[in-house]
Structures are given as structure tokens and as C-alpha cells.
Structure 1
Amino acid sequence: MKLAGKTAIITGGGGGIGRSTAVRFAKEGARVAVADIDAAIGEETVSLIKRDGGEAIFIKTDVTDSDGIRALIDTTTSTFGALHILFNNAGVGNSEVRSVDLAEDEWDRVIDINLKGVFLGIKYAIPELIKAGGGAIINTSSLLGLKGQKYVSAYNASKAGVVMLTQNAALEYGKHNIRVNAIAPGVIDTPIIEHWKQNERKWPIISRANALGRIGTPDEVANAVVFLASDEASFITGATLSVDGGGLTF
């Protein structure tokens, strides 16, 4: 098993990419702390892991709150003894409107969850990873963190910021044997794209807008996260791995 003996935190672990990765981490031998603001879906993820014989706990967490992130780290380490992997995955989209029409409070919310949440995770996990002798952080960016798209200014900006924050942390903490990488998913079959599916005009285009001509699954993204968290990626840091079916080159 690729993650045997490791302890991992996954934010946004209640559904979608977070849930698939939490389940995969547990199957690879990791003890998993599932963090989510929605207790019902977070507890459901934990139940799925335990049903298959894995170890997991749920910790209700608002990733924009520094006290909440500190509590998440403290509860995880007191329960499992150490921290080796952090998957900063929690995120939201924004209303698809022109930048001048985007409400300021919505801008703040998207930046706080998608970018500040990653910053806080890094800030408070790093000391524990150093204590453990090193580890891995994986941050969720997006295809739209690597290329612009109309009407999603806050999302574009937040996910591009994740790419730069990933590189910064990789440079600062490589000397402590801490690797920091990002993933950039394309269109993945998660609840965040439900509104696109309802658009009979746009969906046939969006669903095939990559080299493979289809959308991806959460499990396909989880495969990439497991790789980056494992020793198989021991010489990879500061990278952003596109998991987009060739969307960036389309």
C-alpha cells in the first residue's frame, strides 16, 4: 500500500474529488481526517471508509477560519499521533457574470475559501509535517487556474493564486523534506458542474471540450492525488499536474 502508516487530512472531504480521494487514501493504508463544513456528507465519507475497514474521523471545519484550521490539525495529530499529508481541496465556484457585475462579498467568499483556505492549511500544517520528518501537501487548483475564462473572475484568480502559493511553499519548505504540489482538474463529474449539465446549449460543448472528448471522474483525479502524496512522487515538488483530459491544450 502506497500510504501505509501515514496520516492525511483532506479538506472538502465530504463529496466529489475529496470523498474519492479520502476513500483511496484509506485503501492505500492512510489514516484519514475528513474535514468539511457539511457534517452530514463528511460523516458519510467516514462511514464509507470504515465500512471497508479503514481508519477515519470527521472534523467539521470552515477552511476560512484560522481557529478552525488549528483545531483540525490539533485533533488530527492528537488522534493519530502525527501528520504526513495535507490535501487542501475545499473550494467553491462563483456566479457566472461579468467582473463588474460580481458582488464584492461573493468575490471575498470565493477568494477566502479557494485561496485563503489553502494558505491557512499550509500555515498550520507545516510545523506538524516538520515534526514528522517531512511530508506532502497537495493543493487543488483548476484548469481555470492555468487559463482564463469569461465570467468566472473570482474563481480564475483564486485558482491561479493556488498555483503560485504552491510554488512558493515548495521553495520555502523543500529543505524540510516537504513536497508541495497542485492538481489542476478540468471538467469533473462533481456537484459543482450540475448547473452546466442543465444547460442544453452549453453542456454538449463543455462536456467534450478536451482532447479525450469527455468529462473526468472524481476517481481519476484521486489517482493523481494519491500519486503526488506517495513516495512514487519523491522528486516532484512545486508542480501543477493537469488532470483535464487534455483540456489545457484543446
Structure 2
Amino acid sequence: MSTVGIVTGAGRGMGLECARRLADDVDRLLLVDLDEATVLAAAAELSGAGHRAIVEPFALDVTDPGALARLAARAGESGSLRAVAHAAGISPTMADWRRILHVDLVGTALLAEALRPLAADGTAMVCFASMAALLGAGEPNAAADEALDDPLDAGFPDRLRDALGPAVEEPGVAYSWAKRGVQRFVRREAMRLGPLGARVCSVSPGIVATPQGLQEAANHPSMKALVDGSALGREGRPEELAAVVAFLLSDGASFLTGVDVLVDGGVLAALAGRS
């Protein structure tokens, strides 16, 4: 049976690099992005590069259940779902706090819900979280975590605000908590997928030289200090993140599930060393 891969946020940056890696690992690769022009360009580029996979673009919003149902139907009719790299997301300079929570956490849960019926022995999924979850989510808060753990509840954003107060309306704070929610989500999803022989992990990038990352750095000068003080003293490259994702999706990681992998060039190591 043909194998199928899905990459979201595939139009550019880390998503596109993940797509490049997966294009030789599956028979059909479905590229997903909200921006139709970029996902069409990405599909054309990969299709012309001699990769193994037949590449198919999908322009859709990962928070749209109907669109995700169509994506799942297409994947199901194309073969067995082998790999999913969920890189789609928005950062603090791109939207308000509610939209950030909706795209970055609710969208992750909706995608997983849509694809769960396709999971089988050997299926693997990687969801993008962020180093920000470990830096900016603040002190442990049981009520906030309880809200994060039910992102498909209609009142989720308001429940999180009740737990955290108005501080969560700052986009950077919302982003940190949304990504904490992704890290927590994969633990629960691992328990749902495990009996099927399927796996799910999250990856938490540090500061990476992508268009989105550069936009954030331009608006937050403090990010340069984190890079300069990190163990490696540089930004990450998109292909470095894609290599980690490719491993997590591979058979070489067959006993790895329900965990977050921090890929930050040693930012947190440096910060811990100063405390």
C-alpha cells in the first residue's frame, strides 16, 4: 500500500524544510498551508526536484474542521498514513492572543482529531511547540493547565484567561502558554495512539533563522542576547530542525512517543547555568 505524509505550514521556513526531508520517505506528500501561493510554489519546487513522492498542495486553515476533514479523506484514499509534521502556527507579532491560542493549540488538537482515525502501526506525528513554553509560561498553574488540557472546549480561551488574568492577552504570553499546551497535548495523544502502534512527539525550536523568526527578532531585541549567550552562540537553521523532525518520524525513533524534544542550541542550558 502507498504511504502518505502530511506537512502543515509547508509553504516556507521549517515546514518547507520538513517537506523536503519527507519527500523521499513517502509515496505521496500532502503539503498544507494557509497561503495558497506559497504552498503551490512549494509543491511545484518539490515536484520538480526528483523526489520519490507525488506532491499535492492543500490551501487550508488548520482551525477549519471541514477543511481538515477533507484533508483526512484525501490522505485516507491515497494510502496508509505514515508521517505528519505539523509545523503550522503563528507567532506573537502575527495576531492577537485569542487567534494565537486558536491556531497554535486548538488547531493542533483539531488536526490530530481529524487524522486519528487514520493512525495505524507505524504512523508517527510531530507537532511544533516552542522553547517559549519553557521560558515564558511562568510559574506552574493548575487551573491554567486544566484549561490547556481541554482546548476543544468552546470556552477554552476564557477559561485560560480566568486562570492567568489579563496578562494572557499579551500575545507573547499567549504564545508561550499555547505552546505549553502543545507539549501537554502530545502526552495525552500518545496514550490514545499507542494501542494502535502509532506515535506522537513535539519539538520545541529555539531561535531559528526563518522569515517568521526574523520578524520576531526584529520586534524583540532581547532575542539576540539569548542567541549570543547560548551554548552554540548562533541561531538555528531550518534544515537542522527538519533533521530532528525527520528522525522523530523515522523507524529509528520507534520507541519514542509522548515527549518534547528541545532544539534550542543551548539557550536553556546557558540560562540554567546562570541561575
Common fold: TM-score over 0.5: yes
The aligned residue for residue 188 of structure 1 is 208
The aligned residue for residue 222 of structure 1 is 242
For 1:177 and 1:161, the matched residues in 2 are separated by 24
Among 224, 233, 240, the residue aligned to 2:253: 233
For 1:30 and 1:154, the matched residues in 2 are separated by 38
Aligned length: 236
Among 133, 136, 140, the residue aligned to 1:148: 136
SS at match of 2:124: strand
Pick which of 228-237 and 84-93 moved more: 84-93
SS at match of 2:119: helix
Counterpart check, 1:8 vs 2:5:
yes
TM-score, structure 1 as length reference: 0.87
Counterpart check, 1:118 vs 2:108:
yes
Instruction: Give the conservation status (yes or no) of the 8 Å contact 2:2–2:79.
Output: no
Between the aligned residues of both structures, percent identity stands at 30
The aligned residue for residue 151 of structure 2 is none
Unaligned residue ranges in structure 2 (runs of 5+)? 139-169, 271-275
SS at match of 1:207: helix
SS at match of 1:213: coil
The aligned residue for residue 266 of structure 2 is 246
Q: 1:209 and 1:16, CA in 2 relative to 1: closer, same or farther beyond 3 A?
A: farther
SS at match of 1:139: strand
For 1:35 and 1:155, the matched residues in 2 are separated by 21
The aligned residue for residue 89 of structure 2 is 91
> Structure 2 counterpart of 1:205, which letter?
A
For 1:203 and 1:161, the matched residues in 2 are separated by 22
For 1:17 and 1:149, the matched residues in 2 are separated by 23
SS at match of 2:92: coil
In angstroms, what is the RMSD of aligned CA positions?
A: 2.2
Instruction: Give the conservation status (yes or no) of the 8 Å contact 2:130–2:206.
Output: yes
TM-score, structure 2 as length reference: 0.80
Instruction: Give the conservation status (yes or no) of the 8 Å contact 2:2–2:80.
Output: no
Deviations 1:94-142 (A, max 9, x none): 249xxxxxxxx82210011100111011101111113xx3411111001
Q: 1:33 and 1:209, CA in 2 relative to 1: closer, same or farther beyond 3 A?
A: farther
Counterpart check, 1:205 vs 2:204:
no
Deviations 1:191-230 (A, max 9, x none): 1122345469546424324210000011000001100101
Instruction: Give the conservation status (yes or no) of the 8 Å contact 1:115–1:162.
Output: yes
Q: 1:129 and 1:196, CA in 2 relative to 1: closer, same or farther beyond 3 A?
A: closer
Q: 1:71 and 1:155, CA in 2 relative to 1: closer, same or farther beyond 3 A?
A: same
Unaligned residue ranges in structure 1 (runs of 5+)? 97-104
For 2:91 and 2:219, the matched residues in 1 are separated by 17
> Structure 1 counterpart of 2:63, which letter?
T
Instruction: Give the conservation status (yes or no) of the 8 Å contact 2:3–2:79.
Output: no
Instruction: Give the conservation status (yes or no) of the 8 Å contact 1:185–1:221.
Output: yes
For 2:189 and 2:202, the matched residues in 1 are separated by 11
- Greater helix share, 1 or 2? 2
For 2:213 and 2:178, the matched residues in 1 are separated by 18
Among 10, 20, 34, the residue aligned to 1:37: 34
